Amino acid sequence: MRRRVLVAASAAGLGLGAGLLPFARGRSPEPPEDVCRNAPPLPHDPASGLAPLAARPVPVQARCPVCGMYPARYPGWAALAVFDDGAAQFLDSPLHLLLYLQRVPRYSPGRESAGVRALYLRDLRTQTWVRAERAFLVHGSAQAGPMRSPDLPAFASEADARALAKRDGAVVRRFDALRAELPAELLALAPHRH
């Protein structure tokens, strides 16, 4: 019995050694292929009764193309980009919508930012959709987003946004201003380096 255990351990050691052989010879093994998920926009459903460019409920199966999370798990933070054909790209937060808009073809192959016709954010307090260009976002808040890191809580009401900003020593920004120039500390929060 003891002999079998020793033989098995030796064989395992040889297998491990063979796996480390490229390192011993000064070569690195080839890196594994990238494992990113493609989260394509979901087509408009005419049977929903919603206009093609209207905000819609976050489907359970929708994935954020920036980070791969499921926006339905954190609906108060959800964001939405609607394309000219009515297809909807759901994102898990306002920050990820801004990152997405900077590189639409990267996150949605075959799509361009010029095809985006409507943008929506969820009001963190009321949990309702608000047009992104009408939203007030709080930059520098202690309120962590779905990724458990700094994000941009969105509000339809400027008073609600200012209350959170005052509490946290943050500033209120408009969506279009952030879209034009996203601060470096927020750009650094992009979850993928490739």
Task: Express as a percent the part of the chain with pLDDT over 70.
Answer: 78
Report residue 23 as tokens: 């390192």
Structure tokens at 116: 């985006």
What number of other Cβ atoms are within 10 A of residue 162's Cβ? Answer: 16
- Are 127 and 167 contacting, i.e. CB atoms less than 8 angstroms apart? no
Question: What's the pLDDT score for residue 191?
Answer: 66
Q: Which residue has the higher pLDDT, 143 or 26?
A: 143
Given a cut of 80, whether residue 7 has pLDDT beyond it is no
Domain ranges of the chain: 56-187
pLDDT at 88 over 90: yes
29 or 59: whose pLDDT is higher? 59
Amino acid 120: pLDDT: 99
CA dist., res. 56 & res. 130, Å (int):
11
Give pLDDT, residue 2.
58
Q: What is the pLDDT of residue 18?
A: 47
Summarised one tens digit per residue, pLDDT across range 179-188 is: 998 888 777 7
From residue 71, alpha-carbon distances to 47, 164, 179 in Å are 23, 23, 21
pTM for this one?
Answer: 0.78
Phi, psi (degrees; rounded to nearest 5) at 92: -85, -10
- Rounded to whole angstroms, what are the CA distances from 2 to 10, 13, 64, 94? 12, 16, 53, 61
